[in-house]
Amino acid sequence: MKMNEGIEWAIHCCSLLAHLPDDATLPVGALAEFFEVPQAYLAKNLQLLSRAKIVSSAKGPGGGYRLARKAEQISLLDVVQAIDGRDPCFRCSEIRQRGPSAVAASNYRKPCGIARTMLKAEKVWRDELKKVSILDIKELGIQETNPAQARKAEDWLTHVLRFP
């Protein structure tokens, strides 16, 4: 399965937004700068997160994005579905019903073993993503980030929040 890179960007942005004080926002330009990603593409992903009520935006000077809910209330599955939608990743086209061995459609009473297996695996994947919150990701980042990088990130965030 190949995932849209916007999912990675969205999860990272949500994790960074989880570090903000309650009354603070980050503009899309600052988020794009922090992760060195194209601002226009990131803006589209943030709009999808906004439609899904994962982030909210404030307009005008000092405006930007913040989490719309508490970080512990936003799962990775919420983010994935906001960016890629809720449709299954695997789409069975029932090719077993074509070609020289095909029989009447009434003989195919249940999805084939391939479809059942793929959908079962996807359910496990989605169930695991549902268990992990943005707060969990934020805390993992705190534990795993090199102290020098953490200080640089904190300095950058302090500067950006002081001078919107």
Per the CB < 8 A criterion, the answer to whether 96 and 73 are in contact is: no
- DSSP 8-state symbol, 122: H
Asked if 52 contacts 81 with a C-beta cutoff of 8 angstroms, the reply is yes
Confidence (pTM): 0.89
Q: 3 — alpha (psi -120 to 50), left (phi > 0) or beta?
A: beta
Local structure of residue 120 (DSSP, 8 states): H
- How high does pLDDT run on average in the chain? 94
Ordered by start, the domain boundaries in the chain are: 5-87+133-162
Q: Which fold has domain 5-87+133-162?
A: Arc Repressor Mutant, subunit A (1.10.10)
Q: For residue range 100-138, what is the model confidence (pLDDT) as tens digits?
A: 999 998 999 999 999 999 999 999 999 999 999 999 999
